[in-house]
Amino acid sequence: MSADEAPGLYVESTIIMTTVRVVAPFVLTFALFIMFHGADSPGGGFQGGVITGSVVMMLAFAFGIDSTRQWLDVRIVAALASGGVLVFAGIGLGAIALGGQFLQYNVYKPYYYEASKYGIELVELGIGGIVASVAIGLFFLLAAGFGYVTGEGER
């Protein structure tokens, strides 16, 4: 590495950027597929959420962490996490409010005919949102620590 190049400065590679650009939509679709199929086949909200988080990490590897931070505001990540918790708790406590047990989906039946199926799907989506945003947030924190340390290394 030449001396005038700042340590940790990442120059994007065309090959990686192109591959990520091609692959990312498919991976996101696959993550949703895993989330929605969690009820009746292998998969579920946790696995789908981790795949969603890995898409953001892939984008950060290809395009640099700073531009990913600009593109994906931390407030959006926090909103996704709390929104997931709200969806999960809302569906679970709503069943209690309607006179059932926690997460007893069939009490929603009078309002929607396939309540059990879509109740499970919504809870999986909520879990997926929580897991994805926590994975992304942890990644952002780790990346910030790395930048901080290399910035300090100048002395």
Partner 1 sequence: MTPVEWAIVALAALGAFFSGVAAIGIIRLPDVYTRAHAASKSDTLGAVLTIAAAALALETGLSTAKAVFLLVFMFLTNPTAAHAVARAAKDQGIEPWTTENDQ
Report the C-alpha gap between 83 and 85 in whole angstroms: 5
Q: Which of residues 11-50 bind partner 1 (CB under 8 A)?
A: 13, 15-16, 19, 22-23, 26
- Smallest separation (angstroms) from partner 1 to the CB of 15: 5
| Total residues binding partner 1 (CB under 8 A) | 10
Nearest residue (CB) to partner 1, 11 versus 97: 11
- Smallest separation (angstroms) from partner 1 to the CB of 10: 7
Do 78 and 72 contact (CB within 8 A), yes or no?
no
- Smallest separation (angstroms) from partner 1 to the CB of 67: 17
- Produce one character per residue of 18-34: b if its CB has 16 or more CB atoms within 10 Å, e if not: eebeeeeeeeeebbeeb
Q: How far is CA 79 from the centre of its chain?
A: 11
Site residues (vs partner 1, CB under 8 A): 1, 10, 13, 15-16, 19, 22-23, 26, 61
